[in-house]
Each structure stands twice: as C-alpha cells, then as structure tokens.
Structure 1
Amino acid sequence: MKIPSLISVLALAVASGSQAAPYTEPLGPSQSDFGGAGLLQVPSGRMSKEGEFNVNFRNNDQYRFYSVSVQAFPWLEATIRYTDVRTQKYSPYEDFSGDQTYKDKGIDLKLRLWEEGYWLPETSIGVRDFGGTGLFDSEFIAASKAWGPLDFTLGLGWGYLGNSGNVKNPFCEVKDSYCYRDNTHNRAGSFNGADMFHGPASLFGGVEYQTPWQPLRLKVEYEGNDYKGDFAGQLKQDSKVNVGAIYRITDWADVNISYERGNTLMAGFSLRTNFNTLHQRHIDSPPQKYNPQPQDAVLNHQVVASQLTELRNNAGYEDPHIQIKDKTLYVTGEQNRYRYSGDAVDRANRIIANRLPDGIDTINVTETKLNLPLVSTVTDVDSLKSDLQGYPLGKEKQLNQYREEPTDVKGARQGYYIEKDRLNFGIAPVLNQSIGGPENFYMYQVGVQGSADFWMTEHFLASASLFLNLYNNYDEFKYKGPPGDSTLPRVRTHIREYVDNSDVYLNNLQLTYIDQIADGWYGQVYGGYLEQMFGGVGGEVLYRPLDSSWAIGVDANYVKQRDWNDPMQFVDYTAETGHVTGYWQPRFMDDVLVRVSVGQYLAKDKGATVDVAKRFDSGVIVGAFATKTNVSADEYGEGDFTKGFYISVPLDLMTVRPTRSRAQINWIPLTRDGGQMLGRKYLLYGLTDSRSPYY
C-alpha cells in the first residue's frame, strides 16, 4: 500500500467504526509528538489523570523528539523535551562539539481553565518551549469535547502553532505590537515572555477516535503551522491535514505512527505509569495479633527482651529502648523501615499491649533519627485495648492518640534496650550525569560508593565515603568558563579534572556534632572534606515546629577548594557560603513543598533558589528548582542561570521488603559555576521529616 493512501484508509476506518455498537470506552488522553496530552503536532484541551508520567520518543527525517511529561496536579501538566535537529550541527567548531547534531531543550506548561461539562468542553491554556532559543515556542488555547468514541479538539495557536496565520490575532485589536513576533533575542536556557501571544495566529483542530478494538485509536488533525521558518530548514508541506494511529501494546506502552505534512512519516512510542497508583507487594511479617498476656508491674527481663526484638524486626525500630516512668511506658527507637510513622507506631503499640505491665495507662512511642528525638506518639491504653478488640457495629470510637514534642525520659524506674551499633558500613551504586552539553549530549559517571559512620559519643559522629569510578565520559567535557572578561570562579566546571585524575576518590571525611537544641530547634556543626570539590567548616540551625506546615533554617560555611590533582590538598580559592531557607507546605495544595533559599553561593555570587516539589501517593517526589543570582547571563554562560528537575523514588517500590531509603535522579541541563550550593552531607530538614503533619 502506498503511504499517501493511509489518509483514505484512516478516514474509512473512522466512518465505518463510528457506526459500530456498542462503542469501546476510551483509554484516556494520548501523547502528542511534542509530549503532553494532544493529537499529533497540536495539543488538546485534555489533562491526564493526576500523577500520570510519560516518556515519549518520536522520529522523522528532520527531528527526533525526546520528552517526559508529568501530570503534577489535575489542572497542571508539565513537559520537558529535547529535540535532536538532525539536519544541523551543534556548532561550527568541530574541535569543540565534534559531529554532534543540534540539541534544543524546551519546557511546556499547560493549565486547565475548566473541566468538561454536559455542554462545555474541557479547556486549557498553555505555553510550549517557553525557555530557550524558541525554536518551537508557542502559546495556545485548546478545547476538547467527547461525543461517544470521538474526542474533538479546537484551538487557537500563536508562534510555531500559528505560523500560517489563517486567522487574525485577536490581540491585535488591543495593541498593534501584538501583530508582530520577534524571536531574535532568545537565548539558550533563558525564559522569554515578551513575545507571548504576539504575531500570526491560527486555528487548529482534529479528532481522536477510539475504535471498537480498544488497543487501537486513530487521529486526524488540521494544524496551523506552515513550516516555513523551521530551524531544520524550510520544510515542504503538501497538506495541513495529518493522520495517525496509536496502538496500546500493554498498560504501560503505546506505539505511534503518523503521516504528516502530506509527505513525512513519523513514528515513535510512549511509556507510561502513574505515580499515584504505583505500588509494590512486599514480603513482610504482619502486625502482631492482639493477644493480651499482662505482666506484673515490674518489667520481666525475658518478656522485654522479646519485645525489643519484635520492635526491631516487626515494627522497624533500630536500637529500641523500653522504660517506665510513673504510669507511662516509653518506647524509643530510630524508624528505618516504614515510610509513614503511623504504620510503625501501630505495630509497636500492638507489641507492647500484648505484654503490658499492670498499672500502665499510656504508651509513648518516640521516633529518633541520628539520635535526634523527633516526635512522640502518645496512646491511651484503655482506648487502644478497645480499638484492638474491636467495637460493636455502630459503636465505633476514635482511638485516643496524639502526637507531641519528643519526650526526654529522665528518672525512669527501669529500662532495657538493644545497644546501638557504633560503627556502620554501607555500599551503593552511584550515577552522576549531565544532559544537553555541546561536547556530548549525555555525560555520565558510573561508580560505587562505600560509606562508614562511627559514633564517637551520643551526638558526635565521624563519617567517610570513598568513591570508586567504574566508567565515565567526562573526558569530553571541554568547558573552561564563559568567554570575555568574566571573573566568575570555576567552582564546578573543573569536573573533568576531578573525575579523570583518579579512579578512587575520597568524597567525604568529616566530623559532625548534631543535637536537639530545644523543642522544635535542631542544630549541627561539621568540618572536614565536605564534598568532592570543597572542604571546610560550617553549621546549620533549623526551627521546625511539630506538625507545622512551615520551617526555617540557616546554614553558614567557610570552605576551601580541593586540589583536583591531589584531593587531599587544597588550592588557593576560599569562599564564605550560606543561606537562610524557608520551607512551606501549603495547606491548599496537597503534598507540595516550596523551599526558598537566599544567600551566597560557592562562586561568591548572591541570589536565591526556589524549589517546588510534589509528592504523589506512591511516595514518588517530582521537583523543579531555579537559582538566580547577581551574575549576568554573559558571565554565567550558556543557560543564563542554574535550573534543573529531579525525581526522588522510594526504594520500597522496587524492593521486596519495606524501607525508607530513596534514590534520586537529577536532570541538570549544564554544568556551570554560577548559583552553585555546597553539597552538605546532612540536611536537618530531611532528617526531621517525621515532624511533618503528613508523616
């Protein structure tokens, strides 16, 4: 069959399939060529389910589109995209970028204005490629309405989506300047808003058809682009109608094929999951069944020994301690297994309640981290017994339990504990990466890191980590700082020298004193080789009220740059760096953390970092950050300022047993020197997570 006849075949399928009954329920919005819910080249007004995450690839003769899209909220979709322009070189200087083709990075955002109703279509407004060189920068308003197996879309686009100018820009009626669009001032990595909704405008639209055979969907669209100004060259457009098909191989994978511009075949795939519904079945012992066998008022050594073992093995408390004061039994330990503190407290209460001494009317379970007391959960014994025994139908009561500032038990009548290991070892794989550089699109370092911690006293900790390099391609990194008269110190761009000069590297060797100062107040001081590139001394103080949506911290550091030729030595460069950081979990936005840091960075530039993170039901955290300092765009170099994205994944989604450990994947477009923070080993806010109202 000739490719042009594909249009006729798809049209016939739509016509005949629409008569089939009953119609198959649609699978939900599919991904466009650019990433994000849409048809082919054009977006739709649709939003995916909250938490949906897509990895997309599309390929044709001129472009390869690589994108990831996440539905952060029911009303907000975000997409990150890299476009490989196959017809252009990254730069004319082959000794710098070799034969690498041009890579363009873009960020898209789409905001839903209102949901679909009986008469109203689901309507969204969005911006495509709003940061950077503007190769595909566009703005749009799109509306989608379903009718049985057909989902219709109609939209108005500006920029790349509106190049053909098939309608007059409505904003021209407001101001003449809206009739013109000028992208010549765009810089790679910068955010540009001056030309939004300017220039020609075009109507676009189409329909997605869910065939009676559920895995197959068909698409037809009319686009508003004319391809005359493409960076890849003026592309021939024989038709503004594009057609395509999407086939769902499995719940997590789609394959796509389309015929676009009347002369071009596009093909690709989408991999998907949902961060809200992602889960793992664990091989884990169930909580103890309630089988009360009361003790005498005095703790029995053999019984308590058994309880301590169960607190560690069944409830996940390392180094547990049991003691009594007055009419309260106290349990203390470090929770390293269950993601949510309440799960561990429930298990601990069952263990204690089954062999509870006479005369005890409350159980107090205190969670610690690195010997920092974090929170106590107090449970009324009578209420707990009734809850464990079960209530008659219709007479259920709420468990009498509350959280309070951690209890410092002094003068307890007696106590037993499993002694804390003073020396701990660990080993873990490490992936360091940077994406989108001119020398090589993907730079990486793969290695193994061994770590050791030794408790010298209750609050004095010695720690070290040794990194073994297995493989990397940072030898291709050639950046030596921005051109011109820039005086910005090279605090991060010596990465090639640090990576290449030794396969075994002492990343960290430091002493830390860490303690609770008062209720809600925590502090630490530290000194040594603090990270790969810097050593020195510093300290941090954090105020975090229990179950509060906010916290504030201050860190201050005096550091010296480590010698990349001999990392046990230092070079002449020194810096004072530190920040005041505010943390806020808005009550009106579930599981969102906003973090703002203001201060001085390693290159002695001054500014602020804004970090916004969303935690989904599975525990996966998706975040983005941006740092803007008093360093000019010219001094900073390509990218204009530091920014990036990250995904933090709880390892219990991949392990057979529960754990609180996490792995983080970072996406930082370029390695540059401005806006760089010190990589501190311990961050008090992370250590005190259990004080959050969401834990």
Structure 2
Amino acid sequence: MKKYLLPSLMAVSVAAVCHVQAAAWDEPLRPSQSDFGGVGLLQTPTARMAQEGEFSLNYRDNDQYRFYSVSMAVFPWLEASVRYSDVRTRRYSSSASFSGDQTYKDKAFDFKLRLWQEDYWLPEVAAGTRDLAGTGLFDSEYLVASKAWGPLDFTLGIGWGYIGNGGNIKNPFCRYDDKFCRRRNVSGSTTAVNGDELFKGPASIFGGMEYQTPWQPLRLKLEYEGNDYRDDYAGQLAQRSRINVGAIYRLSDWADINVGYQRGDTLTFGVTLHTNFNQLHTPHFDQAKPEWRPQPQAAILQHTVVASQLMALKYNAGFDAPNLQIKQRTLYVTGEQVKYRDTQEGVDRANLILINHLPADIDTLRVTQTRYNLPQVTTETQVSSLYQQLDGYPLGHEQPLQQRRIDPVETGKTEQGYYIEKDRFSYGLAPVLNQSFGGPESFYMYQAGIGGHADYWLSRQLLVGGGFFADVTNNYDRFKYDGRPADSALPRVRTHIRDYVKNDFYLNNLQMNGFRYLGNGIYAQLYGGYLETMYGGAGAEVLYRPLDSRWAVGLDANYVKQRDWDNMMRFTRYRASTGHLTAYWQPGFMDDVLVKMSVGQYLAQDKGGTLDISKRFASGVSVGAYVTLTNVSREEYGEGDFTKGFYISVPMELFTATHNRGKARIGWEPLTRDGGQMLMRKHRLYDMTSDRDINFR
C-alpha cells in the first residue's frame, strides 16, 4: 500500500494544480527544511540558506526514526541545527530497570556555511557537516551547489560519511593520502567533536530539484541520495530505490506540512513551524508622544507644572523615580528607563516634556539614565537646536540636532530640585517550568511550580534580595539514579542537580549586593549570601566599559561553598575559589554580535577559558553558544570531552500588550558535567550597564 500511496497523492495534487489559478502572495516562499533539519530536500541538503534570523522547529516521522530538530539562520551565510533522533527500533539501554521501554535517543549538531552566493551564471555553493558534535550516528560532510532556473531549483553535491555511504564515486581525497579512504565507525561513542574522521571513507554524488508549482503553497521535491543504508543504526533497511520524492504545503506564513516517499518503500510525514527573529513584532498599547506646545514657565519652577512633568516623565517617557533639577543654565533629569528597549525613545519623549514648559534662561538639557541606581549615560541636548527642529527648518536648510551622549554627569548641589521617590521594595510571582530532554528514564522530564522574588534597597547602593521556588507537580518520580558520572574523576560541582530539584521548596538565592560607579566608565560590586541554587559565599566584580565602545573588560573573584541538597540552608564540606577575567568585544565587521572570552578558575578548580558568541536580532531576541576548555583531560572529564551549550534570550514585550524591558533566557547544555562550570551569579555588571551601548535594544 505504501508503495503506491504517495505517487498517487502527488499525481492528484499536480492534476488539481492545473485547474487552480496561482494565488497572489506578497512574499516568496522561504526555503524548506530537510528531514534532518536545516534547509534541504528530503535526506540531502541544498546550498540554499534561509533568511537571517529564520528559526524553524521541525518534526519528521517514518517507520525507523523520529527527528526533532531546531534550525537557525544565525547569519545570511551560517546555518546551525540541533537535533534529537528517536531510533524506534532500538531500546535506550539493555536494562529495563534503568530506562524501561524507552527507545534510543541521539542528539547531534549540524552546521552549514555558504561559500558563494548565486549570481546570473554561477550557482550558490555551501559546505556543511552533520553530527559534528554528537554521537556520530549520522556524521557526514558535504559540498553542494544549487542553481535556480525559473520555478525549478537544481542541486548537485558530493557527500562523505552517512550521506555518502553508497560510495558511487571514489573519494577524491584518496589521491592525496590513503588515510582518507577509510572511515572509523564512531557511532554512539560520545558527544565529542568527531574531527578526526572528516572527509574520510566512501563518497557519493547526490542531487535533486525542488519545483515551485503554479499553486504557490505547494512545492514538489525529487532527489537522488548517496546513502545505501548499509549498517544503519536502526538495523537492516531495504533500499529499493535511491530516488526519493516529496511534497511540501504551506499552511500559513508560520507552518508547513510535508510528505515523502523514500527508499522505494517508506512513507514519511513532517511538520515545520517557523518564524523570523528579525521580523517579530507585537503591537503595543502606549501613550502618544507629547505634542510640541511650548508654554514656558518662570525661572522659579511652578510646583504644579513640575508635578505634571514628573508624572509624564514616569508614565510617558518611562523613567522610574525621575529627578528634575536646575543648576545655572542647565536642566537635569535623572531616572531609570524601565519601559523602552530603545532608550532613545525615552530621551526624545523626556526632551519634549521638558521643553514644553522650559524656563527661558535654560540653554541645555541633560537626561541621565540609571540602572540599579548606577548612572549609565547622559544625553546632552542644546535647547536652541531642539527648538529649531521642533519648529521646522526652511526647505533646504535642515540641520542635525545638536545632541550627544557623554559619561554620566553628577549634578552635585543644585538650585532647585523635585523628584518622585523610588520604591524601595519590589516583589513578584510567576509560574516556572523546568524541563530537560534526553534522559535515560524518560525523554522529557519536567517540574512545574511557582517562583517568587523580592528586593529591598537599604540605601542607594545597598540591595538585599532573594528568590524561591515552590514545586507544584513533576515527573521526577521516574528518576532511577542520582546523576553520578561513572567516567569522571572530578568533584561533583554540578552533577548533583537531581538531588537539588527533588526538593519541594527551596531558596534559589538570598544575598546582599553593594553597587558603585567609580567614574570614568568603571563599575564595581560586592556581594555575599546564597548566590545560586547550588552555592553560597562572597565575591566581588569590577568592570571597565568605555561609553559607546565596542569593547569592555571585567574581573570577578569568588569564594563559595556547596549548598547541602538535603538541607539547602546548610553547606557541604566542598568549597572552592573561582573567578574570571572577561573581555567583551563587538566586532565592527559583524552587526549586533558580541564575543565574550573568559579565562580563570572554575568550580571544580580546573583552569581554562570560555568562548561565548551571541547574535542579537532586530526584535531584541539574542541567540548564543559557548564552549569551555580547561586543563582537565578527556579521561578526567568523561563523556562529552568539554562543556558546551546554547541559549536564547527573548524580550518579554513580545508577549505583552505594553512596552517593558524584561527578558527571559532559556539555556540548554546537551550534557551536564562537572568540568568547566562557572558560578551562576545573579547580577553581572556588563548586563547591568547595557545602556552604555548606543546600539543596545
């Protein structure tokens, strides 16, 4: 039945297309995803890249495998994918008491790099790898080219490893060295980078085409694959044909469904959900920007007018606890921007609020932004220039606004001053969902509960705060072991995680922080208490961050003790000194990219460095990845070889009807080990001083 079902469906679809007029779509359809995740045909990749910021969630299903993948177009020339593969024909382990009847799960990381962009004569060219840092079940490398001709997009490539198992050509690298003629089977070994086997073993030519039908939601795919499925991890798979066919239908601008007929006997089905982080936008309810209606007040400020200005600064311009002062011929405003991610919007609104009721002798406006009572930046505007801009210039005589950002200005003793006092106490409650994937007892483990936090300012520089978690429901009763690594000689600084999360109620943190701006772009903090779920202690941090500079440097030092998972108000005997020197750099040749390099000592007393690279998109969403290498050997570290992970930071205003500057961060490490683990500090000075970057959103 399967053998004839999909060709029949495709024939019906094509026949229907002949009787349907082409729909009018505003935008061309995005490149489609392959079965493995990442832009491609079915089993094989193409050289096409999705638009920068494209984020796809993919699910594919057939008799032997289920593929769950996330694909991200980080740059126009770089695609990264993370994939979990469910091998339906194998058990997770041979011990039913350990993993029950759960099927085997494999995780993998794929990358594709565009080498050449398509032009009139030449095709698009890309190189890529599958399962580079996974267990090696599908490890492959490829070089592929794609060329469009009308509604047809042709692809031709050469693959090694899983993609090239058929060996329909001789590996071209064998001409240079015989070692490229053989490929070691590393399937299922570790989550390490399998760099030693790149471009080795059999090679195959693969190719195909994708056809955009006259009915725009429907596309058809045809491919010739280079894999012969010999020694496949799912078992002996018959391959009656190397020709695969498929169809993809666009349900909406955020969802595709697809079907395929592969190997001459296998039906596949899949769904893709996608969005673009550069195009995400949520309409917000907001007060209109103040209109230009000048009504100057006297040199001695009028109480009722100033009160109205302070309220407008807080609720219209977004400045919490605004402070309005006059000194000589300058009017100063200080406050914390809590509303707009684009802080220039708040400054523009503040200037309008001030200039509408400005004493005649004022010639300069200075608006200073703070965070955590730390001054960040002062925006200085010349009143005469602002008047001219608001009144309008004669045609052809326009001038730029005389405005500049300078290091924060302390007003000192002033002649007049009014303010709205800052709330010393704040608190909040929110639902919390802790999740993990790929465990031996169950693929999906969860814990749902309530999280709360409270903060109290003892003074302008001294903050006391804490947070708690209360469990409501979880499936942690499935835990069969305590997470102890059998292949690591390191102290267990992180692998007690299961012992901690089994508590029904615990304090995440309870600490005191002292913050200080030392001037000239230097910030400092001292802190002590329960610093995170697993550790308590004391530490200090100092940061040098020049205003609107592409670089900064920070140093932190900490002495901590491990919290007792049986009684989290107490400590175990383990203690450690840990700290790092961190350099921050925003490359001028890559927009909205932040590179962080930290070197120092980690919680297990190992020494090394962490490289963290993140990309921020127009919506404010940031995506990043990090790797940590230390002086711990592979044998001491255990499975995985080194610490690595991914994270995504999402502005909360994408989910709310009003503007706000809150963010939620989701992180994922494919395997939690004890080497290369940092202290998870609640407050980090670089994040707290983001307003010193003119491009931050």
- TM-score past 0.5 threshold: yes
Structure 1 pair 319–474 and aligned structure 2 pair: CA distance change class (3 A): same
Q: Verify: 1:285 aligned to 2:312, yes or no.
A: no
Find the counterpart in structure 2 of residue 533 from structure 1: 534
| Residues 189, 689 of structure 1: alpha-carbon distance in 2 compared, 3 angstrom cutoff | same
Cα shift at 1:185: 8.2
1:662 and 1:422 map into 2 onto residues whose CA distance is 22
> Does structure 1 conserve the Cα–Cα contact (< 8 Å) formed by 2:159 and 2:203?
yes
Which segment drifts farther, 385-394 or 191-200?
A: 385-394
Partner of 1:664: 665
Q: Write the distance in 2 (CA, Å) between the matches of 1:382 and 1:58.
A: 63
Matches for 1:99-178 after TM superposition, within 5 Å: 99-178=101-180
1:383-434 superposed Cα distances (whole Å, 9 cap, x missing partner): 1112222333333221111101001111211110001111111222223333
* 1:606 corresponding residue in structure 2: 607
1:417 matched to 2:426: no
SS of 1:383's partner is helix
Structure 1 Cα separation of the partners of residues 180 and 509 of structure 2: 55
Give the match for residue 564 of structure 2.
Answer: 563
1:546-584 Cα shifts (integer Å, max 9, x gaps): 101111111111111111111111111111111111111
Aligned pairs for 1:139-538 within 5 A:
139-184=141-186, 187-477=189-479, 478-483=481-486, 486-501=488-503, 503-538=504-539
The amino acid across from 1:219 in the alignment is K
User: Against the structure 1 CA distance between its residues 145 and 12, is the aligned structure 2 distance closer, same or farther, given a 3 Å change threshold?
Assistant: farther
- What code does the residue aligned with 2:197 have? D
- State the alpha-carbon separation in 2 of the partners of residues 16 and 352 from structure 1: 65
Q: Distance in 2 between matches of 1:405 and 1:362?
A: 16
Choose 600-609 or 679-688, whichever is displaced more. 600-609
What residue is the counterpart of 1:4 in the other structure? 4
Cα distance in 1, alignment partners of residues 277 and 290 from structure 2: 31
Counterpart of 1:560 in 2: which secondary structure? strand
User: Are the equivalent residues in 2 in contact too, given 1:186–1:192 (CA < 8 A)?
Assistant: no
CA contact (8 A) 2:538 2:560 kept: yes
Two-structure CA RMSD over aligned residues (Å) = 2.0
Cα deviation digits, residues 142-174 of structure 1 (max 9, x gap): 111111111111111111111111112111112
| Cα pair distance change 1:108/1:24, threshold 3 Å | farther
The change in CA–CA distance for 1:672 and 1:472 in structure 2 (over 3 A counts) is farther
Aligned mates of 1:441, 1:675 — CA distance in 2: 25
Q: Is the CA contact (8 Å cut-off) linking 2:561 and 2:571 kept in structure 1?
A: yes
C-alpha separation in 2, matches of 1:657 and 1:120: 48
Distance 2:60 2:327 in 1: 66
Distance in 1 separating the partners of 2:43 and 2:30: 18
- Counterpart amino acid of 2:41? L
Which whole-Å CA distance do the structure 2 matches of 1:384 and 1:318 have between them? 24
Aligned to 2:578: 577
Q: CA 1:3/1:186 → structure 2, altered by over 3 Å: closer, same or farther?
A: closer
Sequence identity (%): 61
> Against the structure 1 CA distance between its residues 125 and 24, is the aligned structure 2 distance closer, same or farther, given a 3 Å change threshold?
farther
Distance 1:3 1:390 in 2: 73
- Matched residues in 1 for 2:197 and 2:358: separation? 71
Distance in 2, matches of 1:174 and 1:436, equals 41
Give the partner amino acid of 2:352. R
Following TM superposition, by how much is the alpha carbon of 1:17 offset from its aligned partner in structure 2, in angstroms? 7.0
Question: In 2, are the aligned partners of 1:242 and 1:260 still within 8 Å (CA)?
Answer: yes
In structure 2, what residue type is equivalent to 1:591? Answer: D
* Separation of aligned partners in 2, 1:332 and 1:296: 22
Equivalent-residue separation in structure 1 for 2:149 and 2:36 (angstroms): 25
Residues 1:291 and 1:99: Cα distance change in structure 2 (over 3 Å): same
The alignment partner of 2:492 has SS state of coil
> Within 2, Cα distance between the matches of 1:392 and 1:653?
40
- Tell me which amino acid in the other structure corresponds to 2:484: G
Query: 1:471 deviation in Å?
Result: 2.2
**2:652 maps to which residue?**
651
SS, match of residue 307 in structure 1: helix
Classify the secondary structure of the residue corresponding to 1:161.
coil
Moved more, 621-630 or 279-288: 621-630
How big is the shift at 1:489?
A: 1.4
Report the alpha carbon displacement of residue 235 of structure 1 after superposing the two structures with TM: 0.7
1:89: which partner in 2? 91
TM-score (norm 1): 0.96
Deviations 1:195-221 (A, max 9, x none): 111111111111111111111111010
Kindly provide the amino acid, as one letter, of the partner of residue 444 in structure 2. Answer: Y
Distance 1:638 1:306, change over 3 A: same
Report the secondary structure of 2:380's partner residue.
strand
Question: 1:625: which partner in 2?
Answer: 626
| Mapped partners of 1:321, 1:72: distance in 2 | 42
Amino acid in the other structure paired with 1:482:
P
Equivalent residue number for residue 692 of structure 1: 693
Per-residue deviation at 1:298? 1.8
Q: Which moved more, 1:5-14 or 1:275-284?
A: 5-14
TM superposition shift of 1:135: 0.6
**Distance 1:440-1:601 versus aligned 2 partners, 3 A rule:** farther
Return the offset for 1:227.
Answer: 0.3
Determine which of 31, 40, 45 is the counterpart of 1:38. Answer: 40
Amino acid at match of 2:4: P
Secondary structure of residue in 2 paired with 1:679: coil
Equivalent AA in structure 1 for residue 387 of structure 2? K
**Partners of 1:289 and 1:580 in 2: how far apart?**
48
Q: Distance in 1 between matches of 2:416 and 2:498?
A: 58
Partner Cα distance (2:150, 2:406) in 1: 54
**Contact 1:552 1:581 (8 Å CA) reproduced:** yes
State the AA in 1 paired with 2:518: I
- The 1:481–1:414 alpha-carbon spacing in structure 2 relative to 1, beyond 3 Å, is same
CA offset digits 1:172-205 (Å, max 9, x no partner): 1122211111133873210111111111111111
- Structure 1: how far apart are the matches of 2:9 and 2:365? 72
Structure 2 length normalisation: TM-score?
0.96
Q: Distance in 1 between matches of 2:463 and 2:225?
A: 63
Contact 1:425 1:450 in 2 (8 A): yes
1:637-687 superposed Cα distances (whole Å, 9 cap, x missing partner) = 332222111111101111000000011122222232222111111110100
| 2:57 match: secondary structure | strand
> Using a 3 Å threshold, how does the CA distance of structure 1 residues 318 and 78 change in structure 2: closer, same or farther?
same
Is the 8 Å Cα contact of residues 17 and 215 (structure 2) preserved in structure 1? no
Q: Distance in 2 between matches of 1:10 and 1:504?
A: 56
Q: Which amino acid aligns with 1:589?
A: M
Q: Which whole-Å CA distance do the structure 2 matches of 1:434 and 1:394 have between them? A: 61
Superposed CA offset, 1:247-267 (max 9, x none): 111110000100000000110
Please say which of residues 284-293 and 182-191 is displaced more in the overlay.
Answer: 182-191
Q: Is the 2:484–2:496 Cα contact (8 Å) retained in structure 1? A: no
1:9 deviates by 6.6
**Which SS does the other structure have where 2:163 is aligned?**
helix
Q: Per-residue displacement from partner, 1:462-512 (whole Å, max 9, x unpaired)?
A: 11212211223344442443326x4411122222222223x2212211111
Closer, same or farther in 2 for the Cα pair 1:307/1:439, shift >3 Å?
A: same
CA distance in 2, matches of 1:533, 1:293: 58
